[in-house]
Structure 1
Amino acid sequence: MYTINLETEKITYTSPSIKKMLGYTTEECLSLSAKDVVTTESYTIQRQKLLEALINTKQEPEFMELEAMHKDGHIIPVEIHVSIVFDKQGNPVEILGVSRDITKRKKAEKKYRTLVNTMQEGLVGVDANWNINFVNDRFVEIIGYPKEQLIGNSFYKLISKDTVSVAEKQHELRIDGKNSLYELELITSDKKKLSVLCSPNPSYDINCNYLGGFGLISDITERKIIEKEKEESQK
């Protein structure tokens, strides 16, 4: 926890935990300014946010993820909640902030992103209306469209007319709280039909309302061709 004078930007208080996070003693911090303990880019972001809060006389805390500077020079990702403190006359006088080291969380997020983007299956996230809100690199590779064209668009636009009814039925099942594997035909960016196996992982709120979810998309086109050839040869 810390306070900063709004006019001078000098640090006026820090809790003892600053020593563990940034390497400074509480006494050393009193000779520092807000600009000394974050990167230049983070200082600009923080200043802009606070200026907006001042203009709008906003008293609710602002949430930011910034990069703090340790005493030895290395960068630490931090999550901060800052609010402007006003005096009895309503004049802004200082900044009150709470900062948390999120290094472990950032490493976990990076590891998770690497895992998601190197998996062999496509991964697609949708909202309750099946509008796409996430795709991994493998799905982009499978479907051929760039990520920017997929996010925000309906997943239904990727489904062939022959299997739209299957998707609609599965959507109804998700709303009813049911779950199952199913096959679809998707249309790639170069207009080819792609047979895929969908493994959904739906999400619901506390009232069991369907919120959307994630689905694993496995390309089974080659397998379907082999199965068809085998069936024809048996005939």
Structure 2
Amino acid sequence: KLEFEPPDLRWESAQVIPKHILRGETMRMRLNLMNVGGDVIRNVRSKVEIFNTRQPRRRTVVATPVTPVMAPGEVVTYELEYVLPEDQLLGTYQISATADPDNLLKEVKENNNEIKSDDLKLSDIKLLLPPENFMFEENGLFLFQWDSLAYGEFKIQVGVDKKFEDAGAYFDLPQGDRWIADKELVPLSGELPGMAMGLMESFERNKLHWRVVGRQASGRQAISEVRTFTVKPAKPEG
């Protein structure tokens, strides 16, 4: 009687997009599971979960795919979607996929059935442009872009205080009590580079920081991460 080596399940890859997710946005997963053993395996159940990296034991099941049969060497691809709830805690997440979570199948190795994705960032406001440490030309175009699903009105804050604690070290755009519904802003030249260069001179700093504040109709607000940029002074003419 021919004896086959038992089957063995192993995850080849776990990809998730986007890497920076907004609350309310659809997350797409692509998971590749392979039977690296020597025999056919049937009724392969898997469990896909999401967890906050600060609370790795508190997991939410996002999918439980089942494959009826896998031949030796066969790869099965699971394409999954999941929408993060509006009240999901912000922070850093990972996806974990476990094949045969209840250990019902006889395999060569029982300890290689789990894979984790790279870190995913969940936030309310995602900064798009400029990228971190971007250098604007003093006489060039200053363009700021961001994205959000949960918030409808915005303003950006620019300053030399990275923590935005000193009210004299940053300013709002648009200024005063105005908010904008757009998710991009080109400041007036008096604001940028004007006011920003003035702040750098008076505080003797060579870097600027920006962030976006979002507001809902209820008045609830959210603040994005902080990014840094610089301004390359124009060469004096003559």
Say whether the fold is shared (TM-score over 0.5).
Answer: no
Q: Which has the higher strand share?
A: 2
More helix by share: 1
TM-score, normalised to structure 1, is 0.29
Higher relative contact order (CA 8 A, sep 6+): 2
